[in-house]
Amino acid sequence: MPKKDMAWVKLSGWLFILGIIVAIVVGLFPSIIDSTTVTGVLAVLGFIIGLLGIAGMGTLEKCDVDVFLLAVIALMAAGGAGRAFENVLYIGPYLMNIVIYIGVLVVPAAVLIALKAIWKSAQTKF
C-alpha cells in the first residue's frame, strides 16, 4: 500500500478543524453571517473532507471507518434531538446551532465514506 502524502492528510485535518471552529463560532454568534452561507461553506468543506477520505488521503484509516460512521450516527441523533436545546435557558439556542452546523459539516463526508464502504462490501471477490 502506498504511503500517504502527509500534505493531504494535514489538509484534511485542518479542513475538519476549520469546519468545527466555524460551526462553533457561528453557532455562538449567529448574527455575524447568513446561515445559508455558513451551511453552504460547511457542506462544501465536508464534501472535500469526504473526497480526501475516500481517496485515502485523509486522516481516516480503514480501521477507523466504522467508528467514524457510528459517531456520525450518534451526532445525527443528537442533531435530531437538537431542537430540544431550544428550551434550555440562555444557552439552548446556541447549543442547537452548534450541533446543527457540525452535522452539516460531517454529513457529506459520512455519505461519501459510507458509499465507499457499501461499494467495497458489495464487490464480488474472485
Burial class from Cβ neighbours inside 10 Å (0-12, 13-18, 19+) for residue 34 reads: exposed
User: For the chain (length 126 residues), average pLDDT per consecutive 10?
Assistant: 70 91 94 91 94 76 75 78 77 88 90 84 70
Are 68 and 41 in contact by the 8 Å Cβ rule? The answer is no
Are 47 and 60 in contact by the 8 Å Cβ rule? The answer is no
Q: pLDDT at position 124, please?
A: 64
Domain residue spans in the chain? Answer: 6-120
Are 101 and 30 in contact by the 8 Å Cβ rule? The answer is no
Q: pLDDT at position 41, please?
A: 95
